[in-house]
Amino acid sequence: MSPHPATPAGGAPPRRRDAARSRELLLEAAGVLFGERGFDRTTTREIGERAGVDPALIARYFGGKTQLYLAVVRAEQGDEVPADLLDPGRLGSLLGRVAERGPGPVLRAAVLPHEDSAARDAAEVQLHERLVAPLRERFAQEGLDRPQLRAELAVAAFAGVTLGRGSGAFGELSAARPEELVPLVRELLGGALPAP
């Protein structure tokens, strides 16, 4: 008995799947496509094609498209705690990204239920780690009462603004450039807090 796997009819030995490499290729392809088209307009089939791997591996390695999106966000942003939403640079960056790509699962988790409980839980963890927690810390340092509630209200308002921009129901809001919105949204979210 030969210690080597059988050679298929074509003569070439079967390729071993490199799970780590396939996962990396899927992350790279998804990052490009989500960046170009946003979450909604990107299909798992397109991600698999661009990565050169079976799109079914998205479910195997990540759990689904939403979890892959969250993995891309984590890879892009790293593990460093981001600035809070009242930081004009962070606010402008997020508004610009949503204007280009549309709102992703993290912002949607703030206002819309997700059918897949695992995807919902993963999106909510990101929502709280990346948006709520930094703002809660700011409010606590400012000595404001109920900093968690204030942070959750501000993040919910921000999510509503970003989703409202894409809904078509608010003409002027949809037409405004992200840089025009930064001071107005900051004022909405932070009230009378001193400027950074």
pLDDT digits (tens, 9 = 90+) for 130-185: 999 999 999 999 999 999 999 999 999 999 999 999 888 999 999 999 999 999 99
Long-range pairs, 54-59, Cβ under 8 A, ≥24: 57/22, 57/23, 57/26, 58/26
Nearest Cα neighbor of 150 from 165, 162, 140 is 140
pLDDT score at 17 = 61
pLDDT, residue 101, reads 82
Query: Residue 138 and residue 147: Cα distance in Å, rounded?
Result: 8
Q: What average pLDDT does range 21-33 have in this prediction?
A: 92
Per-residue confidence at 193, pLDDT binned at 50, 70, 90?
low
Q: Rounded distance, CA 106 to CA 130, Å?
A: 9
> What pTM does this model have?
0.74
Most confident among 16-30, 94-108, 156-170 (mean pLDDT):
156-170
Domains and CATH numbers, the chain: 17-79 (1.10.10.60), 81-196 (no CATH)
Q: Which pair of tokens denotes residue 45?
A: 């089939």
Average pLDDT over residues 64-77: 83
State mean pLDDT over 24-35. Answer: 90
Cα–Cα distance for residue pair 94/103, rounded to 1 Å? 10
Beta carbons of 158 and 189 less than 8 angstroms apart = yes
